[in-house]
Amino acid sequence: MPIETLKKSHLTRNAIIALIVIAIITTLILNFTRAKYRNTQSIPLINGTITFNNADLNVIAMYQQDDTGDYESIDTVPTSGYTLNYENSYCEVNGAKDSDVSLNYNEGRMNVSFTKKGTKCHLYFDVMCGKACRTILANKTIQERTSFSSALTTNTNGTIYQAQDGSGTSYYFAGANTENWLYFAGFYWRIIRINGDGTVRIIYNGTSTSTTGTRTQLSSTSYFNSSSHNNMYVGYMYTSGEVHGLGTSSTIKEEVDEWYKNNIATNTEYTNKISTTTGFCGDRTSTTTNGGAPNDTGGTGTTTTYYGARYRLYTNKTPTYDCPNPDNDLYTMAGSGIGNEALTYPVGLITADEVAYAGGVWHTSNTSYYLYTNSIYWTMSPFSYPSAGVFYVDSDGFLGNTIVNDIYYGIRPVINLRSDVTLTGTGTSSDAFRVS
């Protein structure tokens, strides 16, 4: 009898141990599986980060662009080398598109902000350097510039430079380059750069390939703003009492918008090729210390103020393509998913930093680089206050500053072409890139 009792007890103990081992192994497998999905499918939402399991992720269809420009279905968010195509991506509820959903893709993480149950999103990821980018970079030597203290005057044909912006690697033209001509919407343009999201930023050059004179800008000239007695007037848009206000359009913005409305907005053949997600930076980060780094002190009323581009280009000679306060100062269209979403039309002006990358320097003459036109025109970069001042490009090619209502200066609109447009041509003035 004692022997039988011992056997039963032994069997019971072994069974319990076996169950415990199975439970541990099962737990480890489940945790490993969940960890895998947390790694690749973590999607931060409005009120925190929620990690979906595989079944939940069936509500999202994702497509990734291949080298030919076609899309193929994928089941994980790309971690690098891609950008979200905001124009193609959309969300729907019960088969109807929902414009209230906000999408944002950054550093391999997909942010989806929505309020309705049953939201299904269709996400399209483009190769960072799309079709247009590959055409422009073909047969180009890619270099980096490390010094911006002297004017770049040399012929840089065959070369394109690179620098980082908020979306990735940007490729830009500089110096006396003659291979960045582009014809679009009945006008000639000069390519400033390929943005980090693969779109192509271009600046107006008129109806001919003339490189100098008022033919390179709009027929009208304008103040930047009608008044200058308050800090707010350095803004491309502004609101009284706010450093980064967006309540009212500047005089120059109204002029640029009117030109776009009359010349491009009514033609879908043109508008379908223009990015409505890439923005224009009117950096208003500020400081009250002359020569100090911007820390967003000052900037309102009549407080003496110095703005970010002044610190970078007047003091340090270190331009940037990043927009320091993108939520307020990166001017974008509604639905962009980035920036302030305050624009009526997807058009702006060149920044002082972009002029510096191209070869312009504060008060140093440069009549050899491609942005020199022997005429004066506005940028959208604030400089300082008292008497609200912004940067301009001088008739001698240098970066200067002036009071916003001191004089009428020229207007050269800037737009961004979509990354997936097809370009033909070689980029010379006689064989300008053409958009198809």
pLDDT digits (tens, 9 = 90+) for 348-395: 999 999 999 999 999 999 999 999 999 999 999 999 999 999 999 999
Please state, for a pLDDT cut of 70, what percent of the chain lies above it: 84
Q: For residue range 164-205, what is the model confidence (pLDDT) as tens digits? A: 998 888 999 999 999 999 999 999 999 999 999 999 999 999
pLDDT band (50, 70, 90) for residue 27: very low
DSSP bridge pairs for 97 = 92
What pLDDT score was predicted for residue 127?
A: 74
Q: For residue range 53-67, what is the model confidence (pLDDT) as tens digits? A: 333 334 578 998 876
What pLDDT score was predicted for residue 42?
A: 43
Domain ranges of the chain: 48-127, 132-435
pLDDT band (50, 70, 90) for residue 15: low
pLDDT at 41 over 80: no
What pLDDT score was predicted for residue 83?
A: 76
Range in 3-17, 134-148, 168-182, 323-337 the model is least confident about? 3-17
pLDDT band (50, 70, 90) for residue 45: very low
pTM for this entry: 0.76
